[in-house]
Structures are given as C-alpha cells and as structure tokens.
Amino acid sequence: MNHNKDIIKTFVKQTLGCGCPEEVFEYIDCKSNIKLKNDILLRNKINIGNRLLIYIIEANNPSFIKNSLPLLLSAGIKERDSLRFNRFRLVLITDKVDEIKEVAESLFNTINKDEKVHLHVVPKDKVPKGLSSP
C-alpha cells in the first residue's frame, strides 16, 4: 500500500470513525477536484473497497451549506446506489466548525435519507495533507 493510501485509511478510520473490515481498505481510489452538477467542486471523491463512497468539500460559508447540502447528499446517494456501494459519507472541512456544524446538522436532519448516509464536519487542520490534490 502506498503512502497516500495509508493516509486515507487512517483519516477514514480515525477521523471519520469508519468501522469497515480491513479487507475493504485493500482498494482505495482518491480523485481530486471533481465537478458535480450546479458547479459544485468536490475537493476529493474517495472510493474505499467499492463499498464506501466519500465526498470531501471545503465549506466555510453557512449559506453555501444551506444551498448545496441537499444537492451534495442527493448526488452522493445517487452515485452510491448506482455503484451498489454500502455507504456514503459527506465530509465538510472547514475553519468554522461550530458554525458550519450547526447549520449542516440541522439541515441534514430534515433531509430524507437512509441510515447508510453520514455527515461529518471536520476542522481543516484534521485533514491530512496527502489527501489534497496530487
């Protein structure tokens, strides 16, 4: 496993709290700067073992969250289902954790989704450097 994959695995297991079995981490694919519909730019899109889909996006503006969270969740769930993955995690990385978390979680709780969709708000400094663009 290369260095980047170790970094991603550690981030997913420790920071996001993923309890996936070890063999799931044998395949890790991380893409950077992925454009979704409505010109939303994901910082990273990660595939863990063809079972877990992770979108990572920088979010420091509460109004961006209000406008984009439903679209991000809808796109992630649709992609997860079309690929037949088990779970989808949306990770918002920010310098304004408390403010963004409050807005994102209250909106997240109103959106219709299944129990295999997770939202994480992570301080920007907790995201490893190896997770950025190659």
The full set of domain ranges for the chain reads 3-131
What is the value of pTM for the model shown? 0.93
Cα torsion at 107, 66, 19, 52 (round to 10°)? Answer: 120
Over 50: is that where the pLDDT of 133 sits? Answer: no
Write out pLDDT tens, residues 7-60. Answer: 999 999 999 999 888 999 999 999 999 999 878 999 999 999 999 999 999 999
| DSSP code, position 21 | -
| Cβ(49)–Cβ(24) below 8 Å | yes
pLDDT tier at 132, thresholds 50, 70, 90: low
pLDDT at 130: 66
Distance of CA 6 to the CA centre of its chain: 17
Q: How does residue 100 score in pLDDT terms, banded at 50, 70 and 90?
A: very high
Q: How many whole angstroms from its chain centre is CA 30?
A: 11
Fold of 3-131: Trna Endonuclease; Chain: A, domain 1 (3.40.1350)
